[in-house]
């Protein structure tokens, strides 16, 4: 089914109103209401199950305190309110992946309410209000497979059943697909930073759903809402919402009417498709879970959780910008990557007594480290020793080796784990910055290249590069190019330039 494509004009006339629901599996050792291990990845089906998560007669839930703490930590991180007491509710519906016929969730007293998350977009920072974050249990997994006779079979794997799940719901504040993607990325970063979830989208640990509607710009009333599911990567979040906005705008522009429905995103076809139409609103018949007493959130408990929070991504970015003088871009790249953050911080600390410039360290981490790491197959992701990186940067800054050779050394370090000093020594890369040591070679090069020397004397300064290159060749790249240049100018003159110790060109 295809719709008329929306014109740019239509996209201008309508404003998208988007709310985002994220389900994320919490990083706990055991499930939400029983002692089963959550480490079921790769395990045979139904090997991580017990009477409780199978919904057997007589089984009762027991709250996983760690899971509660993780939601409380999330609430603290997004500046949400925490109720003095909370409780669990039963959300009733029938489905084969829901063993009890109800999901234990939270209805009107979520563990966190009224927070926000600020994201950086191409249009600058943007704040999204978070309505609530609450705790619930994951469902089992349905596997559809043909049976021995070719009949359609649905199999249930209960390994996932009862894994603690946090649902985070935003206000309909999001206006663009980019904002939606950025929100999901930032939330993932936050959850990973505070250790709440591994939040891997491809492994289903972070599931993003978007409620998308359109309204004429300048109006308040919400349009017909479409729920978009099955977005399995950040890229597909952005693509799916872009597609959905255009689809809806096309229909509205053509005078059509939207249907309230749930649509899935097909990454292959690059479009959303109808999953089901909502004719009536679901009635989940919520009521307080009688098997679990209300939970009082002790202020001291909450204070402890709050105090244990690490530096949050937004604060870290601000510190990098404001205290370390990094560009917003570098700060963003560093903070977005846990390995990069760790390496940056540790290298800075390792070089602290030598006063390494944070910007220089940032350049090495964002430029060299991330480039090399991202190119490596994930199974052989190299680890950098921050002490070695600090030593290497120090060598380059001091002019002891060239920047180009420095990159070579870093690659060798990452590949072999060898110490920087050893690599430099073994490869003879130590830079010659002593003008006296270079004088003989400089003189010889001038003599051997009279034409180029004449050009320089005549003011054609570009020709000096040729002579520098010749010196570098003679020294197998060990000469400090800046020192060579000064020496050449002194001999071929108009006026000397102060030699600068530092990185070469």
Partner 1 sequence: MTSDLTRLLAREMAALVRAGETSSRALTEAHLAVAERQNLALNAWLMIDREGALSQADAADAILGEARRAGGAALEALHPLLGIPVGLKDLISVEGGQCTAGSRILAGYRAPYDAHIVERLRRVGAVLLGKTNMDEFAMGSSNEYSAYGPVSNPWDLDTVPGGSSGGSAAAVAAHHVPLALGTDTGGSIRQPAALCGIVGMKPTYGRVSRYGIVAFASSLDQIGPFARDARAAAALLHAIAGRDARDSTSAPVPVPDELLHLPESDDEAVAWLRGRRFGLPREYFVAGMDPDVERRIHESVAFLVDAGAHVEDVSLPHTDYGLAAYYIVAPAEASANLARYDGVRYGHSRRLEGGDFIADYLATRGEGFGAEVKRRIMLGTYALSAGYYDAFYLKAQKVRTLIKRDFDEIFASGIDALVAPTSPSVAFRFGEKTADPVAMYLADACTLPVNMAGLPGVSIPCGLSEGLPVGLQLIGSAWSELLLFRAARAFEGLTAGAAWRGLEPAALTKADHASGLTPAERAAALAAAR
> Where on the chain is the footprint of partner 1 (CB under 8 A)?
51, 54-63, 90, 92, 94-96, 99-102, 154, 156, 281, 283, 285-287, 290-293
- The rounded distance, in Å, linking the Cα atoms of 500 and 495 is 15
Select 50 or 370, whichever has its Cβ closest to partner 1: 50
Q: Residue 85, class by beta-carbon neighbours within 10 Å (0-12 exposed, 13-18 middle, 19+ buried)?
A: exposed
Q: Which helix (H) or strand (E) covers residue 192, if one does?
A: helix 177-193
Q: How far is the CB of 285 from partner 1 (least distance, A)?
A: 4
Q: How far is the CB of 145 from partner 1 (least distance, A)?
A: 16
Q: How far is the CB of 101 from partner 1 (least distance, A)?
A: 2
Q: How far is the CB of 90 from partner 1 (least distance, A)?
A: 5
Q: Which residues pair with 271 in a beta bridge?
A: 266
Select 85 or 498, whichever has its Cβ closest to partner 1: 85
Helices (H), ranges, 288-397: 299-307, 313-322, 328-336, 338-350, 358-363, 370-375, 386-397
Cα dihedral sign, 162-272-276-245: positive
Q: How far is the CB of 312 from partner 1 (least distance, A)?
A: 33
Select 270 or 293, whichever has its Cβ closest to partner 1: 293
Select 60 or 437, whichever has its Cβ closest to partner 1: 60
Q: How far is the CB of 61 from partner 1 (least distance, A)?
A: 7
- The rounded distance, in Å, linking the Cα atoms of 153 and 147 is 6
Q: How far is the CB of 84 from partner 1 (least distance, A)?
A: 19
Select 35 or 428, whichever has its Cβ closest to partner 1: 35
Q: How far is the CB of 63 from partner 1 (least distance, A)?
A: 7
Select 280 or 380, whichever has its Cβ closest to partner 1: 280
With tokens 């009477």, the residue in question is 51
Select 273 or 287, whichever has its Cβ closest to partner 1: 287
Select 96 or 216, whichever has its Cβ closest to partner 1: 96
Task: State how far Cα 504 lies from the chain centre.
Answer: 34
CB atoms within 10 A of CB 250: 18
CA-wise closest residue to 27 among 184, 200, 209:
200
Give the max Cα distance, the chain: 98
Q: How many CA atoms lie within 13 A of 354 on its CB side?
A: 20
- The rounded distance, in Å, linking the Cα atoms of 169 and 183 is 12
Q: How far is the CB of 96 from partner 1 (least distance, A)?
A: 5
For the residues of 78-102, what is the DSSP string, one character each? TT-B--SEE--EEEE---TT-TTSE
- The rounded distance, in Å, linking the Cα atoms of 25 and 28 is 9
Select 41 or 291, whichever has its Cβ closest to partner 1: 291
């Amino acid at each position: 089914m295809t719709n008329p494509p929306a014109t740019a004009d239509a996209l201008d006339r309508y404003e998208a109103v988007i709310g985002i629901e994220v389900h994320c599996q919490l990083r706990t050792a055991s499930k939400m209401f029983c002692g089963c291990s959550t480490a079921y990845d790769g395990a045979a089906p139904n090997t991580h199950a017990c009477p409780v998560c199978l919904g057997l007669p007589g089984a009762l839930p027991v709250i996983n305190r760690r899971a509660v703490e993780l939601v409380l930590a999330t609430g603290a991180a997004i500046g949400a309110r925490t109720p003095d007491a909370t409780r669990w509710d039963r959300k009733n519906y029938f489905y084969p992946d829901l063993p009890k016929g109800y999901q234990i969730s939270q209805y009107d007293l979520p563990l966190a309410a009224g927070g926000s998350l600020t994201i950086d977009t191409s249009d600058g920072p943007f704040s999204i209000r978070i309505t609530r974050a609450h705790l619930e249990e994951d469902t089992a997994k349905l596997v559809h497979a043909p049976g021995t006779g070719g009949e359609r079979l649905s199999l249930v794997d209960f390994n996932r059943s009862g894994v603690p799940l946090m649902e985070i719901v935003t206000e309909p504040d999001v206006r663009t697909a980019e904002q939606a993607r950025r929100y999901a990325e930032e939330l993932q970063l936050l959850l990973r930073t505070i250790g709440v979830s591994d939040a891997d989208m491809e492994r289903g640990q972070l599931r993003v759903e978007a409620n998308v509607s359109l309204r004429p710009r300048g109006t308040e009333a919400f349009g017909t809402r479409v729920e978009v599911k099955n977005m399995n990567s950040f890229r597909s979040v952005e693509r799916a919402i872009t597609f959905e906005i255009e689809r809806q705008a096309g229909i509205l522009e053509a005078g059509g009417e939207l249907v309230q429905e749930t649509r899935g995103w097909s990454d292959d076809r690059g479009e959303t498709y109808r999953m089901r139409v909502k004719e009536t609103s679901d009635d989940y018949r919520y009521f307080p879970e009688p098997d679990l007493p209300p939970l009082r959130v002790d202020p001291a408990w909450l204070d402890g959780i709050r105090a244990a929070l690490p530096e949050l991504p937004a604060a870290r970015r601000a510190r990098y910008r404001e205290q370390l003088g990094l560009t917003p871009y570098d700060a963003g790249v560093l903070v977005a990557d846990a390995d990069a953050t760790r390496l940056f911080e540790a290298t800075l600390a390792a070089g602290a007594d030598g006063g390494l410039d944070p910007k220089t360290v940032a350049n090495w981490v964002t430029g060299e480290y991330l480039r090399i790491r991202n190119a490596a197959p994930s199974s052989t992701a190299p680890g950098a020793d921050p002490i070695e990186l600090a030593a290497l940067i120090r060598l380059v800054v001091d002019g002891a080796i060239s920047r180009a050779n420095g990159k070579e050394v870093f690659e060798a370090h990452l590949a072999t784990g060898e110490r920087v000093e050893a690599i430099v020594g073994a490869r003879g890369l130590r830079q010659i910055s002593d003008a006296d040591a270079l004088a003989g070679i400089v003189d010889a090069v001038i003599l051997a290249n009279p034409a180029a020397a004449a050009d320089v004397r005549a003011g054609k300064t570009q020709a000096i590069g040729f002579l520098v290159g010749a010196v570098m060749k003679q020294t197998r790249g060990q000469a400090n190019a800046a020192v060579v240049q000064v020496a050449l100018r002194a001999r071929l003159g108009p006026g000397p330039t102060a030699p600068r110790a530092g990185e070469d060109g």
